[in-house]
Amino acid sequence: MPTQPPPRLHQIITTHLPALPGECVDGGGARVGQTIYAGLGSAGHRWYCLDLSLPGHHWERCADFPGPPPRCAVVIAAGDAVYVFGGFGKASPAAVTTQFDTAYRYLHASDRWEQLNTVLPVGLSGAAAIAVNASTLLFFGGYHREQFDAFHRDLETAEERDREDITVRYMSRPIARFNWNAETWALNLLTMTWHSMGTQPHHGHCKAAVVRDGANFYLLGGEVKPGLNASTIKHGRLGPAGVQWQASHAVPVNDGFGGCFGGRIGNMTVVAGGTHFAGAWERYARGDYFAHEGLRRKWLGNIFVLQDRQWNYLDSLPCPRANGISIEVGDGLVLIGGDGDEGRPCLDTLWLRDRLIMR
């Protein structure tokens, strides 16, 4: 658990950027130069851009995403393009929910999408990724594709009276039975080839934020099974031999935070917001594996900073928020979309910066 709050030498200053034209929950976004992109998720095919270099900047509608609109896809910038991997949704209105194994590239200079000639090696819905350089991406986590697809097929084709039993059977399993992806996968963007860089020494996470600080990176929060958040923050280090996993950090909140925001603000690594089910870990420890059954989801609003391998309270968001997009811009962190209390969509765009740096 965190120590007492540090002295308020650092204070987060929040600037309101133009609000999104519509909701974007479980979507994705990235930055190319001074242009921020956001969309997908509950925004459907819609893809927006905000050029911060223009005076009086505002969100504009870009070319629509060409495939079935994904939720919880991996969206990441590399070079002069934005890449979209996987996600889940319906291939057609009459189809059942499945994970997608496709990849797309958005070309910043020409406002154009293209589907890439590759198939994802595992389910990467809910995964996180970092760009090692302009041609190499690393992926962490992701829902087990076959289990995910089978559950949604059974649930969506069942009679109404049978759906609760299907859900209870699926949820009433320990973490290991969900078999979420615990391999680190590397993708060469020049050859579009994948290779495994080994198994992580922990269960796979989904809906975690990822922050890179030089050779170090952190997997922040996320779930380890539906409704149960990770109890530790994972620390990896990039080296000549690949990823070297360091000792994990304890999360600063009981029951953790899923769907949180994360990034660098000045020289600080921060995590903000997220959701959890209070009491879920206590239930799980008793062997009640459907740990969040009947519990109320809580949206969180605290901002924590990494200091000496501990996560300490730094400040608070204007309101609780989760399941959105966090993008580093300059010395600050921009939060886009997501939802707040009771799942209400958030349209405001926030730019979080450090008061000390802004002096």
- The catalytic residue positions are 223
Which long-range contacts does 45-48 make (Cβ < 8 Å, 24+ apart)?
Answer: 45/69, 46/22, 47/106, 48/20, 48/21
**Helix 145-157 × helix 163-171 angle, to 10°:** 160
Strand partners of residue 112: 107
Whether 76 and 51 have beta carbons less than 8 Å apart is answered as no
Length of the chain: 359
Which SS3 state, helix, strand or coil, does residue 261 take?
strand
User: Is the alpha carbon torsion for 221, 222, 228, 233 positive or negative?
Assistant: negative
Q: Give me the DSSP letters along 282-344.
A: HHHHTT-SSTTTTPPEEE--EEEEEETTEEEEEEE-SS--BSSEEEEETTEEEEE--B-GGGP
Give the Cα separation of 169 and 184 in Å (integer). Answer: 29
Token look-up 């986590």 returns 141
Cβ-Cβ contacts under 8 Å for 46 (sequence gap 6 or more): 22, 39, 40, 61, 64, 65
* Phi–psi pair at 91, nearest 5 degrees: -65, -25
Token look-up 């992109």 returns 37
